[in-house]
Amino acid sequence: MTMTLVSGPRYIFCAAFVATTALSLSACQAGGELKFDWGSAPFKVPITPGYSELLLGSELGSVPGTCLSGVQVQYTARNYQRSTETEAVMFAMSPETFEQKLIALSDSSKLTGAWQSLASSPAGIPTPVSLRVALGPEPNSPQPMPALIAPLTSSFWGTGPIDPAQSEVRGCSPFGSSPSGPLVSDASIKAAAVYYHGACGATKDLAGILNEVVEGLWNGFKSSSIDGPQSHYRHAISIIELGNYTDGKQSFGSPSSNVRGGFLFTFHFRGDILSGNNEAWGTYKYMFSLRNGILSITDDDVTQLSLHSSGIWGWKLTDGLGDGASTQVPTKFNQETSTEQETLLPAPAICSTISECDVASAFIAAAITPEKIQALGLPAPTPTDLNRIRCAVGSHSDCEQIGRSINMASIWDCPLFPFLFPGDTAHCKFRLPAKRLLVFPNELELVWFDDADYNNQVFGLFVAGSPDSQAQLCTAIPAVPNGIALRPRNFASVGHLGNQ
């Protein structure tokens, strides 16, 4: 193995972004590294502070083909603004390989439990292992010490006997041996993902999301006019894919991410129509996006991988289930996440239209004071700074002073239920658009802000709030309050085999 330093496409994106903003080029410098060391000629990958990146194939050089025995993994992290922690997640099976194996399963094999076997960890999927490092706010906090571990095969694959079906992904070459020589069945790091958590954010459990999707479609099917509904199987599992820094799916501007996430959903249902047996089975893929800062599944995030039927009236089942999987699942998901990314003020304002939320904006703006900003350890704000942050929460007078237009619909919601009578009212709900979306195997993190951002409405709400309300807003509490931690991050998996 030769010493190699690789650079990722994030540098191209970052430099292009900096060229159109007032940011310093120092924001694009590699400030850390992920190093794999067998005692000589280590392989290093530079890490840009703030960026989240999935490392696959050539970006890891010969690491994926080299057995773990004797390796030390060192993650040298750097502070980024006020981010709370960073982590490097390592995979002993490429997320792409794992996804394709699941997609390739036949319906007949899934009927006999093949999906459950492959989706189980660590027997089917090796457990992803996360190396986490606590960070301090820039610029005065000392840089964290490098995190160093010597991962064991059992960390990924457990201690059970080696399944012959795993031979393909567990084959590797001992360090120092010829890559063309015979492989041994051990473990190697096939991929890695590096994440920077935000200064303030909230997490969402993926298992809960997947369970709502799986049981939602099944409950809709069995409550329909179909007689004798049965579920032969229904499963969902989270996935990780290589994304794009510049497509706007993961963040707004810099820092960005190329770690996309979503889930696979597969099902096989049966029902009687006119006393005849009919069945339908299929597999769908969904990806998560940010749309105007709101966690969403957009139209182009849904892919029908397969949809089949049997029986004279099987087509009626596929029509209904196809519509449910491709349209109703994302629609319901988007409605729920949009509602969840809103909050009431302690003294909620009544509204029948969004324009009537002006008074609520004025209430928040009045609570944003220089003293509160300085209490966060920030420099005293300039008058323009105060105008910007108050404008961000909807203060018309402050927006006028800096010549900015205001879109109240992007700040407030007045959620009137359908078919209300004229004159009915609701309460103004403040929208919480995320700046970044981090997708892990087992959870999502919506990052509200990374630092003092005077153009960020959620940061404005944070400044205006009490310590208790700030804690309620920033629920993504660091898992590593002091130093370094190693923990598993299993892919979220839910479902049932048989008519349950």
Q: What is the pLDDT of residue 262?
A: 97
What pLDDT, on a 0 to 100 scale, did the predictor assign at position 485?
Answer: 75
At 7, list the tokens: 């650079």
270-309: pLDDT as tens digits? 999 888 899 999 999 999 999 999 999 999 999 999 999 9
Tell me: the pLDDT tens digits for 114-137? 999 999 988 889 999 999 888 888
Cα separation, 451 vs 347, in Å, equals 27
SS3 content of the chain, % helix, strand, coil (to 5): 30, 30, 40
pLDDT of the residue at 16: 46
Mean pLDDT of all residues in 419-433:
77
Confidence of residue 421 (pLDDT cuts 50, 70, 90): low
Would you place residue 479 in the very low, low, confident or very high pLDDT band (cuts 50, 70, 90)?
low
pLDDT at 250: 84
Tell whether the model's pLDDT for residue 18 goes beyond 90: no
Tell me what pLDDT residue 1 has: 30
Average pLDDT, the chain: 88
Of the candidates 52, 31, 34, the residue with the CA atom closest to the CA atom of residue 42: 34
Q: Answer whether residue 156 shows pLDDT above 50.
A: yes
- Is 44 in contact with 38 (CB distance < 8 Å)? no
Q: What H or E segment, with its residue span, contains residue 422?
A: none
- Quick: pLDDT tens for 341-350: 999 887 778 8
Q: What is the DSSP annotation of 58-116?
A: GGGTTGGGB-STT-EEEEE----TT--EEEEEEESS-HHHHHHHHHH--HHHHHTTHHH
pLDDT in tens, 390-414: 999 999 999 999 999 999 999 999 9
Q: Which range, of 199-203, 325-329, 342-346, 430-434, averages the lowest pLDDT?
A: 342-346
Q: How confident is the model at residue 424 (pLDDT cuts 50, 70, 90)?
A: low
Cα–Cα distance measured from residue 385 to residue 418, given in angstroms and rounded to the nearest whole number = 40
Q: How confident is the model at residue 438 (pLDDT cuts 50, 70, 90)?
A: very high
Q: Which residues pair with 271 in a beta bridge?
A: 278
What is the arithmetic mean of pLDDT over 167-178?
86
**Which has more pLDDT, 164 or 134?**
134
pLDDT of residue 417: 60
Tokens representing 38?
Answer: 């067998």
Cα distance between residue 192 and residue 87, in whole Å: 10
Q: Is a pLDDT exceeding 60 seen at residue 42? A: yes
When pLDDT is averaged across residues 189-206 and rounded to a whole number, the result is 95
Cα–Cα distance, 215 to 69 (Å, whole number): 43
- Whether residue 449 is predicted with pLDDT greater than 50 in this model: the reply is yes
How far, in Å, are 69, 221, 265, 277, 309 from residue 321 at the CA level?
Answer: 48, 8, 12, 16, 11
Copy the structure tokens of residue 353: 């239209």
Q: Is 421 helix (H, G, I), strand (E, B) or coil?
A: coil
Q: What is the pLDDT of residues 353-380, one digit of tens each?
A: 899 999 999 999 999 999 999 999 999 9
Among the listed ranges 18-32, 235-249, 292-306, which one has the minimum average pLDDT value? 18-32
- Mean pLDDT value across residues 161-189: 84
Residue 128's CB is within 10 A of a number of other CB atoms, namely 26
